[in-house]
Every structure is written in C-alpha cells, then in structure tokens.
Amino acid sequence: MKTCMGCGAQSYRIESKFCQKCGRELPTEENSPNINICTNTDCVWNKSKFIYPDDARFCDVCGSPTAYAK
C-alpha cells in the first residue's frame, strides 16, 4: 500500500504511480525521502537535521516546504 504525500489518500495497488484523489506522484524507493526535514539549506532546522512528523508539510521556522511536501 502506498500513501500519497499530498493528500494522504492510500492506494492499494502496487502498480499505482499517481494518486487517484489528487493526481500527485506516489512515493517510490527512488523518489521518496527517508526523513522529513526542511528543504531550505539556509534554515537552522535544516542544518540541525531536525526531523518533522510525517504530516508536517512546511517548516515552522522559515516556511519552506519539508521533504515530504515535495
């Protein structure tokens, strides 16, 4: 089962490449980040490697998208 990083919908087909609900590309081993960190390399949270919860889509310090939001 794959979970859409955009809307949280779940796909039960292994072959699915895109979310049936929002159309976003579903995570694969190649495009799925391992940890949810701030994507802004100048942000203090990125430099400290602070890990956000899976449902966090934006950094609460600088407002940049997190790895799971991309």
* Contact status, residue 45 vs residue 53, Cβ threshold 8 Å: no
Residue of 2 and 66 predicted with greater confidence: 66
At 33, is the pLDDT very low, low, confident or very high (cuts 50, 70, 90)?
low
What average pLDDT score do residues 21-27 get? 86
What average pLDDT score do residues 14-38 get? 80
What's the mean per-residue pLDDT of the chain? 84
Entry pTM: 0.53
> What span, in angstroms and rounded, lies between the C-alpha atoms of 11 and 61?
32
Residue of 1 and 49 predicted with greater confidence: 49
